[in-house]
Amino acid sequence: MDDAELLERLLGGDESAFTELVRRYHQTLVKVARYYVASATSAEDVAQDTWIAVLRGADKFEGRSSFKTWLLRICVNRARTSGVKEHRTVPVDTNESGPSVSAHRFDQGGFWSDPPVPFTDAIDTRLDNTVLLKAVRDAIDSLGEPQQAVVTLRDVEGLSTQEVATLLGLSEANVRVILHRGRAHVREIVEEAMKGSKL
Amino acid sequence: MKLLPSPLVCRDAVELASDYLDGTLSRRQRRRLEKHLAGCDACTAYLEQMRTTIAASGKVGPEDLPSDVVEGLVNLFRQYRDDK
């Protein structure tokens, strides 16, 4: 069932429709909120406030954007307000100018001295593979901010770079840089995890 | 005399991977990278891993929520429904 149908059911008082929307998006809300607020607890509070706002305003949702975009916008607005109250400075990507792959993996000429071991065909062709998906999820969860919010919105939730930039108030160029570094980090962790896999 | 762009080394090629996969590299940059990839198995493997990782990210799906979080939110929903 898609989000619009679930929202329709929620408006009719269907508890299971609300639970399904929560299941789909709560963790994403927490990750996005975490970019703005000082602690994981605050981020949970923002996510909860977002659901309250959804319950109060669901009948006013006009469908001009997708439910997901509407939900995320509510979350970001609330997180920004909480962050300001906490005097929190939104983190910048401090490693922006450093290499995305460790320098020690290249020789002095800039060529690989420790090249990546290609994934086996079984990994490449089975994206539903639970070992791979767990490794990817763990890797994304290990990212710091702002990489975690950007990778989650772009690659997990499938927003465009432009949508991510608008939502987070960043330039598209900045989102691309953060995304590149986040993806490189995720790839590195997954590469390590897959080395020990028999897939 | 116009100088030809110097060939990429692996260290620089990997920095272009994400933009390449998103199709946001300039034509010149894309050509330089593709020329490098044609002769470099390691960077090709790197790019394929990045591609697989991005595709898998879109399939991780929602995580299981702790039951107390779900319960708390469901209670909010019931409260809201009853107050309506």
Tell whether B4 is covered by a domain: no
Residues whose CB is less than 8 angstroms from the CB of residue A57 and which lie 6 or more positions away in sequence, other chains included: A74
Average pLDDT score over residue span A113-125: 77
Q: What is the pLDDT of residue A196?
A: 65
pLDDT tens-digit map of A62-108: 778 889 999 999 999 999 998 777 777 776 665 556 788 888 999 99
Best residue in A9, A46, A112, A179 for a mutation probing chain B (most B CBs within 10 Å): A112
Q: What is the CATH number of the domain that holds B28?
A: 1.10.10
Best residue in A111, A153, A164 for a mutation probing chain B (most B CBs within 10 Å): A111
Tell whether B36 is covered by a domain: yes
pLDDT tens-digit map of A152-173: 999 999 999 999 999 999 999 9
Structural domain count, chain B: 1
Tell whether B2 is covered by a domain: no
Tell whether B53 is covered by a domain: yes
Domain of B45?
10-83
Report all structural domains of chain A as residue ranges with CATH numbers, in order of start: 3-85 (1.10.1740.10), 103-195 (1.10.10.10)
Q: Tell me whether A9 touches chain B (CB under 8 Å).
A: no
Phi-psi region of B63 (alpha: psi -120 to 50; beta: other; left: phi over 0): beta
Q: What is the pLDDT of residue B4?
A: 60
Q: What is the 3-state secondary structure (H, E, C) of chain B?
A: CCCCCCCCCHHHHHHHHHHHHHCCCCHHHHHHHHHHHHCCHHHHHHHHHHHHHHHHHCCCCCCCCCHHHHHHHHHHHHHHHHHC
